[in-house]
Structure 1
Amino acid sequence: MESIIQIKGLVKFNITLDPTVWIFDDRKVDLDTYFSEDRVEVNADDAYVEGASKFWSREIMEGASYPPTLKSEKKFERQQMKTGTLGILLKPFLENAEPTTEATKVTFSDREGNEFTYPLEDAKNLLFQFSKEGKILAEDGPVYLLLADGSNYDSPIKNITGITIG
């Protein structure tokens, strides 16, 4: 199975995506809870500053030694990777490709040659599911395309192999 997906078309940069590494990406989301939670969009820079602030506050309060909860925090993270159904938002990838001003739509292609087209702004809210119950999507992957509201969570668009911005 080929797991590489390329973003091409009316973009400044063609981008190659490898879903097999997203398990380590901090932007991944737990799809078992994602569609049932209230979400607040967070600025990446603000999140970084907040995380760094918490880290240094923890260092000052607890010293340089690791806190007693660190092992259990890491264990929980590993357990989620082994059993979780995970996805990732498309917005950062589409924005990093830098669509040209003429770009208005995003077309997703699957292995059978079918195409699924969405307006560019709507496509930024779509998600790629890249694992199910801790396993990669080997049979009908490499990713599933999920709508922003989760309405197709039980019957996602499968076998996505390419993205063309037009």
Structure 2
Amino acid sequence: MWTLDELLERVSAALTAEYSGAPNGRVRDVPDRRAVRWYATTGLVDRPSAMRGRTALYDRRHLLQLVAVKRLQSEGRTLAEIQASLAGATDATLAEIARVPDGLLESGDPPPASSVRPRFWAEPARPAVALNGVALEGGVVVLVPGSPSAADCADIAAAARPLLDLLAARGLLTEREPS
């Protein structure tokens, strides 16, 4: 994984071979930080793979995408044409277009596990747990999994006595009988 500046250094190195630049001279030979962010916003390039604090991290695919974009621009294609042709492109297709030397594709250290956002929508669903309320004095209800028996409810009420006294002392109960 690379920071944006490290990624741009690799893009520049990859473009030193077989790259004549954009034919009209209106396009930069190497994208700058702002252009890469704009490419990601418009979907031309994938969003960063991970974050390390506030620093975006990029990987091999980003390098292939950026070099492929610049190579296609040097052929005179517009960004709209490039976006249409690269939409859904595999890494193999990008590698064929980009022609990045193998040494530049070697990634740095992987990001720390904590910097990768979990994909909560891809996690298997957890089974639902049924909760039942045990009513205590003062409008307090304790939620417990399963179905407590009458004896369980009495034991829970006895164990909750110190909590109920604290809540009563702080005026947090709706009603309270003297104990």
TM-score by length of 1: 0.22
The answer to which structure, 1 or 2, has the higher relative contact order (CA under 8 A, 6+ apart) is 1
TM-score computed with the length of structure 2 as normaliser: 0.21
* Higher strand proportion: 1
